[in-house]
Chain A
């Protein structure tokens, strides 16, 4: 990637790191919440559904500001995390947190759809054959929803790569710390002569987005073929 300047390369690397961790850490929660929404009937289910979707419908700046209030040094959760030595405000971890929360609804929707497509009768069959609930999930449900999980993860990764509004509001735009790829494009466009760098990053963004899409299609097809047994 010799044609990228050091500042551009740094933004790209940071974005990849932020998106990777945002996706990896939210994935187990995403599967759990999707399963709960798809299979369980409990009081507050609609409330949970609404909360999960909130980042999708709120202005990203609002989400970022709410994160700042909650996870900032003064915020209740930020203070608690700081007690354990974890500071997210104005750090790359904060960017990952913002990206993860913004990508969460997309991830949950994709996984939930695939769980709803699994016939509960197969899970019952697993139970009658001696598998407890966690084993039924691990040996029947999870393998069958794998295409949906992969699609959800890639979708979330792509969304995290492009997250801008909540990130810049929550953790600002510090080069090397919180300046992700979209933030860098924004910053380059603010200075005279920055168009070249901005254009190069835009090209990189398009390549990554298209690559993620093609990869998710390919992996999804492979996994679906394996699961359906054809």
Chain B
């Protein structure tokens, strides 16, 4: 499965002109609000008719303005998960779930309703109406409704943006399961770096209607040019394995042979995870530091130094755990004499690794 998008469209305050090809898995459209993310998704869904372009899912054309080809939304076989859920208020949860399934061609009905209901944990809600559901429950039902339409492509437009942090933490794992257990490509819109780190197979960074960067999450999120989406967004994504839970409330992780400590996380020993390390939480040292309270220290060598317009610079350090990014001042770069190839230590404060930056499992333990 692959998704191919080429779009040109003029909005009152935005000129959209972009193209990208996404592999299977989760493709995240990442950018500030107003960068054109929702416009792209709505054009893919057929809710908005762009000036020019072409969108194809696995070679199947949804539209091509050059050929004057345009499939109406209801024939595109999509599962669109909206920010506000958009459940039908006059139908029960069960009827909402069956809605898309009823319109799907019989031979295309892949998903087993009872399996999906169990996966989303909504079995006890089936007879209720959307008005009495909590925000998190509504969004789980919305995911189920989209999935049971047996779509060829799932679209999700900031599905967590309307939820508080606790509800976000409740819903994110379901998207991870969707990615890992369902073989449908997902186009996911967000402006949250944490969601990108946890979900993305590949990332398309949008800025003012242009795709400024496109590639695997670890590369795109490490690029200072996506910083306009927020300096906080810059950070490395590391693959780790849960090693041990310690009695003092810490969890020990193995990152390519190096040890990392986190405040206790719920994952089982042996599980593989990805964690995001925000660049602004990393300190660099040219010598092995002593007498520091920080537990996490990765030895490596400087790979690249990218200075921006301001006083800051993003230093990429090659470590056994993978590339780690640090946001330091240019003055520090000079003071430490940092240059490509120079050995150095990256120090990460343990409590800086927030739970929302810890992703679900990549593989079964």
Contacts and interface: CB of A to CB of B under 8 A. Distances in A.
Q: Do A and B form a real pair? A: yes
Interface of A: 121-122, 124-133, 135-136, 139-140, 143-144, 226-230
Contacts of B104: 130
B9 interface: no
Interface stretch (B127-135, B282-290, B330-338, B352-360): B127-135
15 contacts: A126-B88, A127-B72, A128-B46, A128-B78, A129-B79, A129-B99, A129-B145, A132-B72, A139-B99, A143-B90, A144-B89, A228-B90, A229-B89, A229-B132, A230-B132
A135 B73 CA distance: 13
B86 A122 contact: yes
B45 A230 contact: no
Dominant SS among interface residues on chain A:
helix
Contacts of B103: 129-131, 135
A226 B90 contact: yes
B297 interface: no
B99 A227 contact: no
B82 A125 contact: yes
Interface string B275-303: 00000000000000000000000000000
Given A124-B47, A229-B129, A230-B129, A129 B90 contact: no
B74 interface: yes
B140 to A, nearest CB: 16
B74 A130 contact: yes
A2 B75 CA distance: 62
Interface in B114-160: 129-132, 145-146, 149, 155
B72 A126 contact: no
A122 B47 CA distance: 12
Contacts of A143: 90
Contacts of B209: none
Contacts of A226: 90
Report the 4 A-B pairs with minimum CB-CB distance, sorted nearest first: A130-B103, A229-B129, A129-B100, A229-B131
B245 to A, nearest CB: 43
B198 interface: no
B80 interface: yes
Contacts of B241: none
Interface string B84-97: 10101110000000
A119 B64 CA distance: 29
Nearest to B80: A128
Nearest to B146: A129
Contacts of A144: 89-90
Contacts of B89: 122, 144, 227-229
A229 B46 CA distance: 29
B278 to A, nearest CB: 35
Contacts of B37: none
B179 interface: no
B95 to A, nearest CB: 9
Given A121-B84, A128-B76, 13 more contacts: A121-B82, A121-B86, A122-B86, A126-B99, A127-B47, A127-B74, A128-B47, A129-B103, A130-B104, A131-B99, A132-B74, A140-B88, A229-B132
B78 to A, nearest CB: 5
Contacts of A132: 72, 74
